[in-house]
Amino acid sequence: MTDRRSLAALALTSVFGLAGLLAPADAFAAQESSGVDLVTLPSESPLVAIRLLFDAGSIYDPPGKEGLASLTALMVSQGGTQKRSYSELLDTLYPMAASIDSNTDREVTLFDGTVHRETLADYARLLQEALLQPSFAPSDFERNRQVLISSLTNSLRSNDERLGLEALQDEIFAGHPYGHPADGTVEGLKSITLDDVKAFYREHYTQASLMLGVAGGYPKGFPDELARAFAALPAGQKGRRELPPAPKIEGRHLTLIEKQTGSVGITLGHPLPINRSNPDYYPLMVANSYLGEHRTMYGVLMNQLRGQRGLNYGDYSYIEYWYNPPGTDYPTANVPRRQQYFSIWIRPVVPADAQFALRAALYELRQLHDKGMTKEEVDTVRSLLINYSKLWAQSPSERLGYLMDSKFYGMPSYTDEIEARLKKVTVEEVNAAIRKYLDPDNWDAVIVTDKAKELAETLRGDAPSPKTYNSQVSAEVQTDDKTIQALPVKPTAVEIVPIEQAFQK
């Protein structure tokens, strides 16, 4: 298909103009201090970034209390201490232009902040106070629990894109420790008590579960001093929760979430048995970038679904979890997962195009699976990724986060590894990875739509879905459309879930 490849090449050429802005890769530095794993990244920056990564993610939520990990993190980062209320803590942080932020994912909980080195000592004391002496006030507990419930029932349910992206993970990992949102479920949060939070904090906020990172222009000896301060945490025991294998998907399972909306959002995917620590990840990374690199214009999905057919705003693919895709341009650090998944994100389309859009994405996935990539395509995407990946961690805090993730995975610096491995990857390795890991026949899909019953009947019927256009399209598009509109999907199961039940329990 000459046309689609030339379009991709043109888009790639514009990206190479960024190469002059790229910084050299950072060296990996790690040590253990006072029982706390310590990662350091010194620089001449006047800013100092601190990151605390605890093995205290949502996989440790007890059954029936989904959301306990997230609620505990909020009680630490958005609650008072034994010395001051939360409002007093905010008032003290304000003159520093600083904050204590937190984020809980499946495996880990992150606390982080960045300050000017002139206020570093004061900020470090407040950070220690928040992490080591939380007050666990009942008023903070009720407020933070309601924040999480509102996040599920208002924010997540009202955002069609985030709703589908989060629900897909629930489907792919159903019955697995990853199988509920990190924020929890509505009923799980309602069942949590303040004593549950205190117990979770005692059990999981330990030296053994902590990785401490410091980056920037910090004074000599500061990281070790900070690590010694956090040695006040209980010692704990090394080791992460053992995970069962991801559920095996056989067939094509479609979950339709019914809500009042004027468009249809589609996500689909399946588990992957590898993560970035595996050598096979890197040839697969090339293939995924060719198919649909996030928020770029050169991917096949983007060119074919949006560029050639005008179906929607964007279409992307992923080979690992991507944090908050509607709001992020590059991969986010410190959301590492030992088990990952492949997914395709079809941003909302008009209802009349829903079945065709699903088929069009599957058609491109099938083309990639069956035909693979050419050497020219591999060489082009390889060159792009080697340069483009250096934009992913531009600040000291981001570079620190990537180094900490590399330690989590037990591998060399990820950004260095991308360049080292991609320089050696061959077209044979890329096409072997495509055939081995991308499956166009067995997947879960989540579709957010109005009139779900009608769409479910259409999808079950699997009849042709011709696409009409308001303007002339190329002969190649017309030819491909004849294949796409009749592409058999043959759903194995189609389920309808009312929006009120999403993330309820």
Is residue 1's pLDDT more than 80?
Answer: no
Task: Tell me what the mean pLDDT of segment 372-392 comes to.
Answer: 97
In this prediction, residue 22 has a pLDDT band, given cuts at 50, 70 and 90, of very low
What does the mean pLDDT of the chain come to? 94
pLDDT, tens digit (0-9, with 9 covering 90-100), for 227-259: 999 999 999 999 999 999 999 999 999 999 999
- Mind listing the domains of the chain with CATH numbers? 2-22+263-451 (3.30.830.10), 34-230 (3.30.830.10)
In this prediction, residue 454 has a pLDDT band, given cuts at 50, 70 and 90, of very high
**Predicted pLDDT at 399:** 97
Distance CA 176, CA 150 (A): 24
**Predicted pLDDT at 5:** 39
Is residue 11's pLDDT more than 60?
Answer: no
Q: Which two tokens stand for residue 162?
A: 């985030």
pLDDT, tens digit (0-9, with 9 covering 90-100), for 50-88: 999 999 999 999 999 999 999 999 999 999 999 999 999
**Predicted pLDDT at 34:** 64
**Predicted pLDDT at 19:** 35
In this prediction, residue 14 has a pLDDT band, given cuts at 50, 70 and 90, of very low
Distance CA 343, CA 303 (A): 18
Q: What Å distances lie between residue 278 and 144, 247, 282, 319, CA to CA?
A: 38, 20, 8, 12
Is residue 7's pLDDT more than 70?
Answer: no
Distance CA 239, CA 206 (A): 12
Return the percentage of the chain with pLDDT > 70, whole number.
Answer: 93
SS3 of the chain: helix, strand, coil, percent, to 5: 45, 15, 35
Is residue 24's pLDDT more than 50?
Answer: no
Is residue 25's pLDDT more than 90?
Answer: no
Distance CA 305, CA 302 (A): 6
Q: Residue 318's beta-bridge partner residues?
A: 343
Task: Tell me what the mean pLDDT of segment 377-396 comes to.
Answer: 96
Exposed / middle / buried, residue 29 (Cβ in 10 Å: 0-12, 13-18, 19+): middle
Task: Tell me what the mean pLDDT of segment 305-314 comes to.
Answer: 98
Q: Which residue has the higher pLDDT, 46 or 33?
A: 46
Provide the pairing of β-strand 493-498 with 252-258.
parallel
Is residue 28's pLDDT more than 70?
Answer: no
**Predicted pLDDT at 72:** 99
Q: Rounded to the nearest 5°, which phi and psi values hold at 498?
A: -65, 145
**Predicted pLDDT at 35:** 82
In this prediction, residue 33 has a pLDDT band, given cuts at 50, 70 and 90, of low
Is residue 476's pLDDT more than 80?
Answer: yes
Q: Rounded to the nearest 5°, which phi and psi values hold at 277?
A: -80, -10
Distance CA 104, CA 64 (A): 18
Q: Which residue has the higher pLDDT, 24 or 207?
A: 207
